[in-house]
Amino acid sequence: MDRRPHRVLIVDDHPIVREGLRALISQQPDLEVCGEAEGVATALELVKTSAPDIAVIDISLKDGDGLELIRQIKQSHGSVRMLVSSMHEEGLYARRSLRAGALGYVSKENAARQIIDAIRRVLSGKIYLSDEISDQLLSQLLKLDDGPGYRTVESLSDRELEVFRAIGRGLTTREIATRLSLSVKTVETYRQRIREKLALRNGAELARRASQWVLEES
Question: For 76-104, how does the pLDDT look when each residue is reduced to its tens digit (9 = 90+)?
Answer: 999 999 999 998 877 788 888 998 999 99
| Residues 161 and 192 both lie in one domain | yes
Q: How does pLDDT run across 147-165, given as a tens digit for each residue?
A: 444 347 888 988 899 899 9
Residue 68 forms part of a structural domain: yes
Side-chain-side CA neighbours of residue 56 (13 Å): 36
Mean pLDDT within 166-175:
92
**Residue 176, in any domain of the structure:** yes
For residue 76, the one-letter residue type is S
Alpha carbon 71 to its chain centroid, in Å, reads 11
111 & 208 share domain: no
Shared domain for 114 and 191, answered yes or no, is no
Q: Decide which of 99, 115, 140 is a domain's last residue.
A: 140
pLDDT at 147: 45
Find out whether 38 and 61 touch, Cβ atoms under 8 Å: yes
Residues 124 and 205 in one domain: no
**For residue 173, is pLDDT > 50?**
yes
- Residues 178, 207: one domain? yes
Could you tell me which of 76, 106, 80 has the C-alpha nearest to residue 6?
Answer: 80
> Is 30 in the same domain as 54?
yes
Q: Which of 39, 9, 40, 14 is nearest to 25 (CA)?
A: 9
Is the pLDDT assigned to residue 190 strictly greater than 90? yes
- Residue 186 maps to which CATH number? 1.10.10.10
Which residues span the domain enclosing 136? 6-140
Helices 203-217 & 158-168, crossing angle to 10 degrees? 90
Report yes or no: 105 and 98 within 8 Å, Cβ to Cβ.
yes
In the predicted model, is pLDDT for residue 2 greater than 70? no
Question: Global pTM?
Answer: 0.71
Q: Note the pLDDT tens digit of each residue in 128-145.
A: 998 777 777 666 655 544
Do residues 18 and 70 share a domain? yes
The predicted model gives 178-199 an average pLDDT of 91
Backbone φ and ψ for 96, nearest 5 degrees, come out as -65, -40
183, with CB counted inside 10 A (0-12, 13-18, 19+), is exposed
Return the amino acid letter for 13: D
What total of structural domains would you count in the chain? 2
β-pairing, 6-11 vs 54-57, is: parallel
- Clarify whether residues 22 and 84 are in a common domain: yes
Which of the listed ranges 27-41, 149-163, 185-199, 202-216 does the model predict with the highest average pLDDT?
27-41
End-to-end Cα, the chain, rounded Å = 47
In 3D space, the residue among 24, 23, 26, 21 whose CA is nearest the CA of residue 58 turns out to be 21
- Is the sign of the CA dihedral 142, 145, 151, 155 positive or negative? negative
pLDDT of residue 48: 95
What are the tens digits of pLDDT across the range 48-77?
999 999 999 999 898 888 999 999 999 999
Domain boundary among 140, 173, 200: 140
- The answer to whether the beta carbons of residues 46 and 9 sit under 8 Å apart is yes
Within this chain, do residues 73 and 161 fall inside the same structural domain, yes or no? no
Q: Mean of the per-residue pLDDT values for the chain?
A: 88
Q: Which pLDDT score, from 0 to 100, does residue 17 have? A: 94
Percent helix, strand, coil in the chain, to 5, is: 55, 15, 30
